[in-house]
Chains A and B, each alone.
Chain A
Amino acid sequence: MPQISMTINGKAVAADVPGNTLLVDFIREGQRLTGTHVGCDTSQCGACTVHVDGKAIKSCTMLAASADGTDITTIEGLENGKLHPMQKAFNDNHGLQCGFCTPGMIMAGIDMANRYKKAGQKLNEAAIRHELEGNICRCTGYHNIVKSIQAGAKAMK
């Protein structure tokens, strides 16, 4: 059984996990961080999106063992006394309804904001819609998610 250690939301974590443990199961069941969700079996819905070493990845399609030694941020790790600007933007712009896809949307939104900022590119509506290819929402029709990410990205600067 692989022995793994990593940092999750700033906290050092170590465990023995069976080789077939998915990172999302380790986060949800092992760490009881249930904000990261599972919405599909084929790595398309993005409800399980977390950051591994600062990059958005789908935790349902990564083994916990592969994440050994990494630094992971989940939705629970964003709030630091006050809401992250992206979290706040989702509330301000009614970017969520049932809330199930929301953690993945927020994690994806922060990731794209970071990448575009780094590349000096403009994160406009078309870019956000393109970047959201891997995150599915059934409630909002995306209209307000796009607005939320636009506002959140702006507030992150």
Chain B
Amino acid sequence: MSDQGIGARVKRVEDKRFITGAGRYTDDIVEPNQAYAAFVRSPHAHAEIKSINSKAAEKMDGVIAVHNGAQLTGDGIGNIICGWGITSKDGSPMNMGAWSALATSKVRYVGDAVAIVIAETKAQAIAAAEAVSVKYKTLPAVAQSLDGLADGAPQIHENAPGNLIYDWEIGDQKATDDALKGAAHVTYMDIENNRLSPNAMEPRAAIATYNPAEDHYTLYTTSQNPHVARLVLSAFYQVAPEHKLRVIAPDVGGGFGSKIYIYPEEIACLWASMKTKRSVKWTSTRTEAFLTDAHGRDHVSTAAMGFDKNGKIVGLKVNTKANFGAYMSLFSSAVPTYLYATLLSGQYNIKNIYCDVQAVYTNTAPVDAYRGAGRPEACYLVERVMETAAREMGMDPAELRRKNFVRSFPHETPVIMTYDAGDFDGNLDQAMEAADYAGFEKRRKKSARAGKLRGIGFSSYIEACGIAPSAAVGSLGAGVGLWESAEVRVNPVGTIEVLTGSHSHGQGHATTFAQIVAERFDLPIENISIVHGDTDKVQFGMGTYGSRSGAVGMSAIAKAMDKVEAKAKKIAAHVLEASEDDIVFEGGEAKVKGTDKAMGWHEIGLSAYTAHNLPDGMEPGLKEGAFYDPTNFTFPAGTYICEVEVDPETGKTTIERFTASDDFGTIINPMIVEGQVHGGIAQGIGQALLENVVYDDDGQLLSASYMDYTMPRADDLPSYSVHHHSTTCPGNPLGMKGCGEAGAIGSPPAVINAITNAIGNNNLSMPATPAKVWAAIQETASAKAAE
């Protein structure tokens, strides 16, 4: 058995280029004949475009062209669409407003692109963009979902009256109302989930090249899913036919969801490259990223959870207003519906759940999936309510959870999910032990003696990932299937290339994907390479998001390996004159069990490709492809425990301990999985303590740089205590569940539960900045004084 196989802490094979500065990100690439693009962007949140005058700009040094939205739509470039149709309560389809890559008659958020300038240098493009004169008639704007829904709110899209995109529901309203009426105790909460900016460290970038001789386009772009990009660019935006467009996502510096979507800039660069016959390069600045990268979260909810006299949950009713921003981004509609409300059962046996969701247009940047996408919002709501209910009912928060855990699988929730496996008690036990829950009171007293407030908070999360069975999501409105593809190629010399539709932008696929091949064929991973991110090299694939590369992407590889293995066995059996059933792969060879007959992979490969001596009727060659369509979602789950110390004088929170117990099913490389958990927790702590996208009432973005958007830094965060307690996922060949998002999903409620526990005031919203925590402490103090 290979020591580089499943479960081994293999060091990453992709690291060498990154640690030596040899990574190749989009902005590092230079095309011959390259020009630069800059965008003219709206300074207003909502305005009519009266005129665009680019005469002065066109005359400036180095300017090649200035193009606007009228020209773009005139050339037949289509609108950007949302690919998941949601149906409202009343049966009507969602109200999707038009989104042109360059705005034509109206701008709807600050940063909305109005024109593209192409020039010889970046500086010239920026200077000319500044010289394009756009006359606007400003309109009243709204930034918050509740304001967008208010009577008399400015109308953002004509076909979405009252700015309502859809009014969707799930679950049984009457049964839930009845259950709450009969409850011994009901916990009511207003819960906000703050708006975040994904902030992959590599800003988005694109280089588009049109080759007129072949009528062919090449696009280098910062994408998590180059094939999906190519599909929508050709099928919907009609920039280029699919077979005449090559999309390459080279090294990509983080995604977190924000690089799933097709943005106006890539479309405009491709189109401009055709217009100018130049390679057109655009790289976002960080401020442009804050203005235009799809944001995440931004929910405003009310929740009511009822309990019987024994603390068993009898019902949960939730209403959520989801702020979609100015346009519907690619997967936006699915986030507060099928990725959110379907997880409201948490780890608990809840008979009655009802949730309705109103999706709202506002004059802000589009909102779409960001690490966790809907599931952090669900987890935050459920786990804040559970902790609050425990406090209200005077119960230990761990015990209240335990009382309600699902323990038999498969378990069907009232919100359409079927949990397939888990051991929620096991994760809770492991986390409590690792966090030394028993010793907390002692530590709290010690903090108190030093004038500090110590608190502890739980979060028992569950999420659904490994998206997703194509037919199921199709029936729910998805415009695409969510399978994954793989091709396993054994070369004539016996080395192996795996072509995968998954895309790695930090996840370490070159290592982990190679590990499962190493495991199967007992080969050193040096002999295996992973190819991804180029539509000319790799067969159609769906890309990386929703923690799906393991459960779906690797499952496709496993299926392809089944086929390779079967054929290789046939070849080996034929050459070695043995029975197929007696062939085993060991030490990089195919061996005949119980004999010393063997042939190396190089011999199998050579046999397959010379085809001099193959079994009768066998085709030459040894490469097999597979498409894997999941049978169910996977359900990573676990318990996180956060322990904080609050300085009552300043309101500053220090995370003293952060303990995670996760159930991810089979783990291929624990080192990489732990890294994913660390990063996810950091983003979750970031949401809970630090990060916030802030628009003023006029729709101006106030948090448009790192001067005002608080990115988690090393000294904001603790070292994490990460543990695994796994149950195998029965739904896929490797038993994997997915680990990419869990940290970001599970951690925010643990942090807020800990702080509210420390300060004795449950009225605290994210991010719990020092100023906010200090104000909450004052509130508690004055309430006590009034008693």
Contacts and interface: CB of A to CB of B under 8 A. Distances in A.
Interface of A: 20, 28, 32-42, 44-45, 47, 74-76, 78-79, 83, 87-88, 90-92, 94, 96-103, 106, 125, 128-130, 132-133, 135-146
Nearest to A34: B28
Given A94-B671, A136-B713, A141-B678, A102 B705 contact: no
A103 B21 contact: yes
Contacts of B683: 138, 141
Most chain B CB within a 10 A radius of its CB, from A40, A74, A90: A40
A71 B254 CA distance: 32
A92 to B, nearest CB: 7
A41 B706 CA distance: 8
B202 A97 contact: no
A143 B719 contact: yes
B310 to A, nearest CB: 39
Count chain B CB atoms within 10 A of each CB in A44, A92, A94 and give the residue with the most: A94
7 contacts: A38-B203, A39-B201, A41-B705, A44-B707, A99-B23, A132-B714, A139-B679
Most chain B CB neighbours (cut-off 10 Å) among A33, A44, A76:
A44
A87 B19 contact: yes
Contacts of B199: 138
Given A39-B203, A41-B705, A128 B679 contact: no
Nearest to B669: A94
Interface stretch (B9-17, B596-604, B752-760): B9-17
B201 A98 contact: yes
B715 A94 contact: no
B164 to A, nearest CB: 34
A68 to B, nearest CB: 20
Contacts of A142: 678, 682, 712-714, 717
A45 B201 contact: yes
Interface in B105-140: 123
A136 B201 contact: yes
B468 interface: no
A42 B18 contact: no
Contacts of A90: 15, 19
Given A75-B20, A142-B717, A136 B286 contact: no
Nearest to A92: B11
B609 interface: no
Given A41-B705, A98-B253, A139-B679, A79 B20 contact: yes
5 A-B pairs with least C-beta separation: A35-B21, A99-B18, A100-B253, A141-B682, A98-B506
Given A41-B705, A141-B717, A146-B719, 4 more contacts: A44-B707, A83-B20, A92-B11, A100-B23
A41 B287 contact: yes
Contacts of A130: 714-715
B381 interface: no
Nearest to B252: A98
B125 to A, nearest CB: 14
B508 interface: yes
Interface in B661-708: 671-672, 674-675, 678-683, 705-707
A88 B11 CA distance: 11
A149 to B, nearest CB: 10
A67 B297 CA distance: 43
Contacts of B680: 141
Given A41-B286, A98-B254, A99-B506, A36 B21 contact: yes
B706 A141 contact: no
A155 to B, nearest CB: 14
A129 B705 contact: no
A33 B678 contact: no
A97 B507 contact: yes
B720 interface: yes
Interface in B435-484: none
A98 B681 contact: no
B25 interface: yes
B22 interface: yes
B195 interface: no
Given A45-B201, A129-B715, A143-B720, A99 B253 contact: yes
Given A87-B19, A138-B200, A138-B254, A94 B12 contact: yes
Interface string B709-742: 0011111010110000000000000000000000
A40 B705 contact: yes
A155 B705 CA distance: 36
Nearest to B18: A99
Contact of B679 (A35, A135, A140): A140
B505 interface: yes
Nearest to B203: A39
Contacts of B12: 91, 94, 96
Nearest to B671: A94
B51 interface: no
Contact of A98 (B24, B202, B711, B743): B202
Contact of A76 (B18, B20, B256, B705): B20
B763 interface: no
A90 B202 CA distance: 19
